[in-house]
Amino acid sequence: METMITHPPLTFEQVMIIMDKQKAETFAKIEADKKEHKERMDDLSRRFGDLGNRLGEIIEFMVITGIEEKFEKYGFAFGDTIQGLKIKNGKKTVTDIDFLLLDGDSIIMVIEVKTKPTLNDVERHIQRMDEILQYPNKVTKDVKIYGAIACALIEDDVQQAAFDAGFYVIMQQNENADIVKPPDNFIPKFWEVKNV
């Protein structure tokens, strides 16, 4: 005959202790999974950021190649290009400029490069132009400063907002960048720095 070992029934307190232990283990597992998920998401974000930066560099390279000549049909004669300029006030960077095209000493085109610009990017470029005017000693005196946005893709509303702001739009077309034909009512806006 087999002897059966019997356990006394669990008390309410013992059941609560077991449930609390299982609950703590479950929450610990959830937290570990969240941490692992966050680390994976951070890694993906970093990788996508790196990819976006590389794409931006490619677009910048494509924009700079021969863009000066393409502005000739709009009455500009750009001869020099400056890439990656920082406007500073002392040690503090006030604004970054992706490209500057120079037409002698009197006309500058400030080009902002975005893979796919947004309405906020157009607003930020307007703000950038205003910031440049605050530090005219950092830029040539007696100059008209025009703006352009260069991109690989652009939504219709963003393109229209850029035109409305008086900016030219430069878009990637196959292996070259070209200036998008502005609407008939387009008036390029310029910010003017006067020698004081």
42-100 tens-digit pLDDT:
776 676 666 666 666 666 666 666 788 889 989 999 988 888 888 877 788 888 888 88
How sure is the predictor about 183, in pLDDT bands with cuts at 50, 70 and 90? very high
Name beta bridge partners: 190: 146
pTM above 0.85, yes or no: no
Of 131, 88, 132, 86, nearest in space to 108 by CA: 132
Q: What is the DSSP letter of 1?
A: -
Q: What is the CATH number of the domain that holds 87?
A: 3.40.1350
Q: Give the number of domains in the chain.
A: 1
Q: Could you tell me how far CA 161 lies from the centroid of its own chain? A: 17
State how far the alpha carbon of 107 is from the alpha carbons of 89, 111, 128, 129, in Å: 23, 13, 17, 14
Which pLDDT tens digit goes with each residue over 114-124? 888 999 999 99
Dig out the tokens for 131 from the structure.
């910031």
Quick check: is 22 in a domain? Answer: no
Looking at residues 174-187, what average pLDDT do you find?
86
- The pLDDT score that the predictor gives to residue 191 is 86
Quick check: is 156 in a domain? Answer: yes
Give the gyration radius of the chain's Cα atoms: 29
Quick check: is 54 in a domain? Answer: no
Quick check: is 30 in a domain? Answer: no
Alpha-helix residue ranges (DSSP H) falling in the chain: 12-64, 67-70, 119-134, 156-164
Name beta bridge partners: 81: 101
Quick check: is 47 in a domain? Answer: no
Q: 138 pLDDT exceeds 60?
A: no
Quick check: is 95 in a domain? Answer: yes
Quick check: is 172 in a domain? Answer: yes
What is the rounded distance in angstroms from the CA atom of residue 172 to the CA atom of residue 189? 23
Domain with 86 in it:
62-193
Longest alpha-carbon distance in the chain: 112
Looking at residues 101-125, what average pLDDT do you find?
90
- The pLDDT score that the predictor gives to residue 119 is 97
* Strands 176-179 vs 168-173: parallel, antiparallel or unpaired: antiparallel
